[in-house]
Structure 1
Amino acid sequence: MSGVASALAGLDMGMPGDEMIPLLGTSYFMYDLTRAALNGLVPMDRINDMATRVVAAWYQMGQDKDYPPPNFSSNTDAATGLLYPGAVFSPSGIVNQFVDVQGDHATVARQVATDAITLLQNTGSLLPLGVARPLVVFGTDAAVNPSGPNACGDRSCDTGTLGMGWGSGTANYPYFDDPITALKNRSTGGVTYHNYDSWPWFFPPSQSGDEVAVVFISSDSGENQYTVEGNHGDRDSAGLSAWHGGDALVQSVAKAYDNVIVVVHTVGPIVMDAWIDLQSVKSVLVAHLPGQEAGESLADVLYGTVTPSGHLPYSIPKQESDYPSSLGIRGFALGQIQDTYSEGLYIDYRYLMKNNIAPRFAFGHGLSYTNFSMSNAAISVGTALTSTLPAARPSKLPTPSYSSAIPPASEATMPAGFSTIWRYLYSWVSLSDAQADIAASATSTYPYPAGYSTTQKKGPAAGGAQGGNPALFEAAYTVSVTVGNMGKSASGRSVVQAYVQFPDSSSYDTPVVQLRDFAKTGTLAPGGSGTVSLQLTRKDLSVWDVVQQNWLLPGLPSAERYTIWLGEASDQLHTACYTDTLTCEICKPLTALSPPPCQRLAASLGAYTAQEAVAALLNQARGIGHRRARAAADLAGEAGKGWVAGDGGRTDKVGRGGRI
């Protein structure tokens, strides 16, 4: 690795500093960058540029204006500790002032955890539960780590309820509210807890009444600085299976109990096909990584205090082989494993739709305890798109003026009387080395590659502000839709998702559809409704051209049709709005097995017949079982009210579970 080449290529700093041998080695920059600046291999203009970029964030965050100094230590929980961790004979002092900065964090944490809980299936409307229903709970994931929620360094274990992954970005829990405690506090019918992950074949528990079994399973991952249960950071050993034999535990409980709820705490998708279709597995909830409010947030949803409104941020496949080849880059390897990302843009639902692979649960999937309708979809123009390229980027502000002269040797040496700390890194060099480097600057040049120019290039056309050229973020179209709560008893929140289908005439390779915006309604009471508006920006409708190094429109939307698909999941996109005609229509739901174009049901929302709707339902059905007849009847009864999506049934298989 060349520190000079890295600096010239744009690297501003290396973190952490001791990159070669932790606690004992040096940095790749350190002395070498100092000497490269003195001997002219790295121009002072570049050094100035690097320093400016580093301190710019400091100014951006207002840290130059009465910003509080550090008042806590990441190395100890005690009030006093080493002032220079890692250094031998470091003095001690106050390192933790225990400043409470949480504010209403506990309230926010609970709301976030509750909003994220995703109901995958709910056969027979088992959920929500009544508080008098007795529960039998299985799985160590239901209770906090017996050694404490912060017992494992950087959370590098999967013991007890999984609230976060592991690695250097973790934090200590101020407290941990676990599910089993919350369930016992809510239930009046009693909770029996079997705190194990393996089914006891001697004296196994069994059904004794109308109790409901709740099985907790998990799947963890983190940074590869830790190996957890054979997994080197990523799930390279467990794959997409539940940890601790979770699949077998669900299967065993499903044999013993008639009504089973599975709760999954996971860092990402797990394959569920080993048990998802078992008759007694009625309800499945993905609680993701809920953090400190794991218990009460889950209890709110299980008992119906809150209607679930979460949606999957990934697809759940039927088998690992349904995903692209990069998933299989795991297991033992000499050196660092390599992924060339040959799938390009085709990840998750984009890959599945391109290859006509139906997932078990689609990206964006999520059920509710009520039913929602979408109607009155409309599309309007915002900032007119009259050119394929965005407007020119704004002019740059004047840059600070610095001297580009190589500094004197004295500035590169340690100041007199400065006390160094062992193991801490300093970039000063000796006076003799500094003088020799400056002398060499008259003749030394960096061996630039053939064709390389040291002339500063113009700023990229796609730049000009934080995030890019401001013209990219102007709203080109607004799509609005009315969402109604069609249920009789439960309030709830719906999520409207907007996906873009690029013009068929485009020469660029683009996925079938791509999520571009989404919004969650406020809480809608039964019979209530609200309007959701989603915006599509120029960037949403653009592709990155590697030759022009800019975002461009494959076609002008007023002339070449972009289709904006609306729905509640990537496999339930049932409304299409068009940029060329500014009209919307109802379609057979877009899925991996039913790709574009729109298979039209009606020219306008609210105008299709019951027969057309039921036909679409049956075409969409993929094995709903005993709920098919009810779903079809419900849909026929709602014809003319708009497209209905909602509660209850086991489904990625029909609509949103009972109604489309």
Structure 2
Amino acid sequence: MRRFLSWQSLGIAWLLAPPSSCTTGLLADLQADFQDWTVAYNRSVAAVATLSDADKIRLISGQSVPSIGFEPLTSNDGSQGLESFFYVSSFPESSAMAQTWDPELIRAGFHAVGQEFYNKGYTMINGPTTGPQGRTPWSGRLVETLGQDVYLAGIAFAHATEGIREAGIIPCGKHFLLNEQETNRSEVYWIDNAVTVPRNNTAYSSNADDKTLHEAYLWPFYDGVKAGLGAIMCAMNRVNGSYACENPALLNQILKTELAFPGFVTPDTSGQHTALGSANGGLDFGAASFWNNQTLLAALANGTLSQARLDDMAVRNLMPYFQQGLDTKSPPPVRSATDPIDVRANHRALIRKAGGAAITLLKNTNHALPLARPRSIAVFGANARPSLIGPGTTMDDVHTHTTWPGHLVFSGGSGMGSPSYVVSPYDALLARAQADGTQMMWALDDTLPEIEYIAVTGTAGTSAPPTVAGYASAVETCLVFINAWSGEGNDRSELRSAAQDAMIRTVADHCNNTIVSVTTVGARLLDAWIAHPNVTAVLYSSLLGEQSGHALVDVLYGAVNPSAKLTHTIARHESDYPVPVCMAADCDFVEGVHLDYKYFDRYNVAPRYEFGFGLSYTTFGYSAPVVGDADEAALARRGATGVLAPGGKVDLWDEVLRVGFTLTNTGSRVGAEVAQVYVSFPNEAAQPVRQLRGFKKVFLGVGEEKHVVFSLRRRDLSYWDVGSQEWVIARGQYRFYVGASSRDLRGDVVFIVS
């Protein structure tokens, strides 16, 4: 959680490893079309040519360089809004934004976040985040990411990047790469505002083969680089034995050459370990305790660091600076956290809209929702009320909690928000009850104290026994609010809560219209109560930010028709998920590319709710799909042949065919459907049973129909060929499925590539 990119006091040189030779990844050697980075590249090269080597070292270690008027970039976490400040907004977590499946809403949300950063004096945001990708549901930071499918995450990552850039600041994508858990992520403890102390174990090594790395983890970074990431944060962990921030194969070859990334690589906290190992390994920005005149000038003199590599590091640090026009802007200075600089504008309206669009309807028996002026309701659960202390760092707890004793609107560490206030479900329900004349009762904890109750005035109405069962029996509608918590620093220890599940069962045993709202950082198992006949409706969402209560009540009462879809699979049992948290020094990714629903499909494991699932208050019909506009000439070429540019070879992004169908609103309400297309590949590609390769959120009036067209790009039909080290199109039968989820498939069509 860095505030300024100035590292004089943060690095500790545990060892000075011998450097590896740097022969790739230099911008000057890259035969690439820099596209809209060309002007920034030329200006950066010209500026660096005027600098002494000592000034270049100052530049790459976050210090002022007066000769070119350069001041260090300022950065902060995170994608859900600035941390620790007064007068800023607390936005939905990235996982909530992904659950909207609405690219333009994602762009708008991240643009608003970027505006608040800039107006508080920051020139770079540590985000957006697409890693961890979701190897294990126990991963503690999935709440900060963009869903457990690489295609969905890539589209969201690109639009988030564009939104931040349009706000005038630098997006720093993270975490690169294979940063799939918090346990043993570093060989140090991170305490006391980034002061570190030694630990007795080493950072785990994520060991993945080349195909897995490319298809299951690298994919979204192609999207981010193409969309204009100016910086990328390398992770704390090791990748195939080498630290991610000192890994020439990962940074120089894959990121900077294969993806033609033109910006700079910056380390996560404690990610840099040695001076020359990091410089030659692909890191571009680092700590002055590692990179200084004593270490780097000496390395230049003895040939262990090349002049070309130092120049490249300096150029890369200037590239996003010029690209974003920061040399011509005058951002306000970073102020103290409580200075009365109000940057919120009317972002509360956007936050409420995004929150409503991020709530998935999982169950709705007999049209229990939307509510229509219920005569009496009882509200249960700690997640319905505000935390006892708030709203800020009291929730930035990375060690102990599995649930949160209050309404959960952000997570911990880099996922922490800074709301000026929090609208809890109770607050929003109270306002609605006042307007509707509804009788309310409430029991705002997950467990109630055992007390002896002696009725003096009777046991009916507001004198009902003050127990969960007593209050549930007294009203016609029961609303239960639960949550699941995690945050940076620790992984999850449970995917269900015994106390919360017992509360739900008790309510449902005594109330025949029990509606459950789940606010969760990731997969939360529901099988302890989901089949109870009195559980009539279930809402499921990530953490929705400061307007969370309003967003939930908008959906509960029908002001918003739910349209969100799951971005991960909800299993029936913990054992249905194949990968636990790795406790060893070496974590072998033996499951390969079969993450989340791809594993469930391969091994025919029945989920409780599948990836992409989500109901609406209306219904939709799908016509049979058809393939059209196939570019036979492009499909005849197995590999991409275009010029290299940021994001890979340019023709990877070319449309090669279309899949179309007609979508109809067959219900009685205006609504939106997220139509999805999944692809099965020919056998030679060795791909999952099906994988997402397109989606569109389509808004339809009652009885309205629209023709929906999915444009599939070369990369969408390609697999990573390890032998040729290229993305190639397979020969044989492709099958395209359209539907409402990864298992609710309404039609399919075959296309042969010959």
Using the size of structure 2 for normalisation, the TM-score is 0.58
Please tell me whether residue 48 in structure 1 is matched to residue 48 in structure 2.
no
Work out the CA distance in 1 between the residues paired with 2:395 and 2:365. 40
CA contact (8 A) 2:495 2:524 kept: yes
CA contact (8 A) 1:17 1:26 kept: no
Work out the CA distance in 2 between the residues paired with 1:221 and 1:175. 21
Question: Structure 1: where are the runs of 5+ without partners?
Answer: 80-97, 225-232, 395-463, 583-660
1:170 Cα deviation (Å)?
Answer: 2.6
CA contact (8 A) 1:138 1:213 kept: yes
Please tell me whether residue 215 in structure 1 is matched to residue 392 in structure 2.
no
| Cα 1:191–1:337 shift into 2, 3 Å | farther
1:393 Cα deviation (Å)?
Answer: 3.5
Work out the CA distance in 1 between the residues paired with 2:587 and 2:271. 26
Work out the CA distance in 2 between the residues paired with 1:358 and 1:388. 38
| Cα 1:70–1:327 shift into 2, 3 Å | farther
Work out the CA distance in 2 between the residues paired with 1:313 and 1:199. 34
Amino acid at match of 2:484: S
Please tell me whether residue 380 in structure 1 is matched to residue 628 in structure 2.
yes
In structure 2, the residue matched to 1:168 is 414
In structure 2, the residue matched to 1:623 is none
CA contact (8 A) 2:672 2:697 kept: yes
| Cα 1:14–1:567 shift into 2, 3 Å | closer
Work out the CA distance in 2 between the residues paired with 1:281 and 1:548. 54
Work out the CA distance in 2 between the residues paired with 1:5 and 1:516. 41
Amino acid at match of 1:234: D
Work out the CA distance in 1 between the residues paired with 2:562 and 2:355. 11
2:441 pairs with one of 175, 187, 192: 192
Higher-Rg member (1/2)? 1
In structure 1, the residue matched to 2:428 is 182
In structure 2, the residue matched to 1:123 is 365
Amino acid at match of 1:267: V
Task: Report 1:200-349 matches (<5 A).
Answer: 200-202=449-451, 203=465, 204=467, 205-208=470-473, 210-224=475-489, 233-235=490-492, 237=493, 239-242=494-497, 245-324=499-578, 326-329=579-582, 338-349=586-597
| Cα 1:14–1:151 shift into 2, 3 Å | closer
1:298 Cα deviation (Å)?
Answer: 0.6
1:109 Cα deviation (Å)?
Answer: 1.0
Work out the CA distance in 2 between the residues paired with 1:206 and 1:153. 30
CA contact (8 A) 1:20 1:27 kept: no
Work out the CA distance in 2 between the residues paired with 1:364 and 1:299. 23
Amino acid at match of 1:287: S
Deviation string, structure 1 residues 441-496 (Cα, Å, up to 9, x no partner)? xxxxxxxxxxxxxxxxxxxxxxx2222112011111222222111113x2111110
Work out the CA distance in 1 between the residues paired with 2:549 and 2:528. 27
| Cα 1:547–1:18 shift into 2, 3 Å | closer
Please tell me whether residue 580 in structure 1 is matched to residue 752 in structure 2.
yes
Amino acid at match of 1:5: P
Amino acid at match of 1:302: L
Count residues in correspondence.
464
Deviation string, structure 1 residues 281-325 (Cα, Å, up to 9, x no partner)? 11111021111110111111101111111110001000011111x
Task: Report 1:49-198 matches (<5 A).
Answer: 49-73=312-336, 77-79=337-339, 98-152=340-394, 154=396, 158-187=404-433, 188=436, 189-198=438-447
Please tell me whether residue 551 in structure 1 is matched to residue 727 in structure 2.
yes
CA contact (8 A) 2:378 2:471 kept: no
Work out the CA distance in 2 between the residues paired with 1:337 and 1:174. 42
CA contact (8 A) 1:138 1:197 kept: yes
Task: Report 1:509-524 matches (<5 A).
Answer: 509-522=686-699, 524=700
Amino acid at match of 1:469: K
Look up the SS of the partner of 1:493 in the other structure.
strand
1:69 Cα deviation (Å)?
Answer: 4.5
Work out the CA distance in 1 between the residues paired with 2:681 and 2:330. 47
1:197 Cα deviation (Å)?
Answer: 0.8
CA contact (8 A) 2:415 2:488 kept: no
After superposing the two structures, state which structure 1 stretch, 58-67 or 466-475, moved more.
58-67
1:155 Cα deviation (Å)?
Answer: 6.0
1:485 pairs with one of 665, 678, 696: 665
Work out the CA distance in 2 between the residues paired with 1:247 and 1:153. 23
Work out the CA distance in 1 between the residues paired with 2:297 and 2:17. 11
Work out the CA distance in 2 between the residues paired with 1:223 and 1:166. 6
CA contact (8 A) 1:265 1:288 kept: yes
Over the residues paired in the alignment, what is the CA RMSD in angstroms? 2.6
In structure 1, the residue matched to 2:653 is 473
CA contact (8 A) 1:517 1:534 kept: yes
In structure 1, the residue matched to 2:609 is 361
Deviation string, structure 1 residues 518-576 (Cα, Å, up to 9, x no partner)? 11112x22212223221111100000112222100112xxxx22111100001111211
Task: Report 1:391-540 matches (<5 A).
Answer: 391-394=640-643, 464-488=644-668, 490-503=669-682, 506-522=683-699, 524-540=700-716
Amino acid at match of 1:42: L
After superposing the two structures, state which structure 1 stretch, 258-267 or 157-166, moved more.
157-166
Deviation string, structure 1 residues 379-417 (Cα, Å, up to 9, x no partner)? 2125442434344332xxxxxxxxxxxxxxxxxxxxxxx
Using the size of structure 1 for normalisation, the TM-score is 0.66
Look up the SS of the partner of 1:185 in the other structure.
helix
In structure 1, the residue matched to 2:619 is 371
Question: Structure 2: where are the runs of 5+ without partners?
Answer: 1-14, 23-247, 253-264, 275-286, 452-464
Work out the CA distance in 2 between the residues paired with 1:298 and 1:389. 48
Deviation string, structure 1 residues 577-599 (Cα, Å, up to 9, x no partner)? 222399xxxxxxxxxxxxxxxxx
Amino acid at match of 1:128: P
Work out the CA distance in 1 between the residues paired with 2:288 and 2:317. 20
In structure 1, the residue matched to 2:178 is none
| Cα 1:507–1:344 shift into 2, 3 Å | same
With CA pairs under 8 Å and 6+ residues apart, which has the higher RCO, 1 or 2? 2
| Cα 1:4–1:65 shift into 2, 3 Å | farther
Instruction: Tell me which protein shows more helix as a share of its residues.
Output: 2
| Cα 1:301–1:18 shift into 2, 3 Å | closer
Work out the CA distance in 2 between the residues paired with 1:134 and 1:213. 9
CA contact (8 A) 2:739 2:746 kept: yes
CA contact (8 A) 2:565 2:614 kept: yes
After superposing the two structures, state which structure 1 stretch, 141-150 or 62-71, moved more.
62-71
Please tell me whether residue 568 in structure 1 is matched to residue 745 in structure 2.
no
Work out the CA distance in 1 between the residues paired with 2:606 and 2:734. 24
| Cα 1:365–1:17 shift into 2, 3 Å | closer
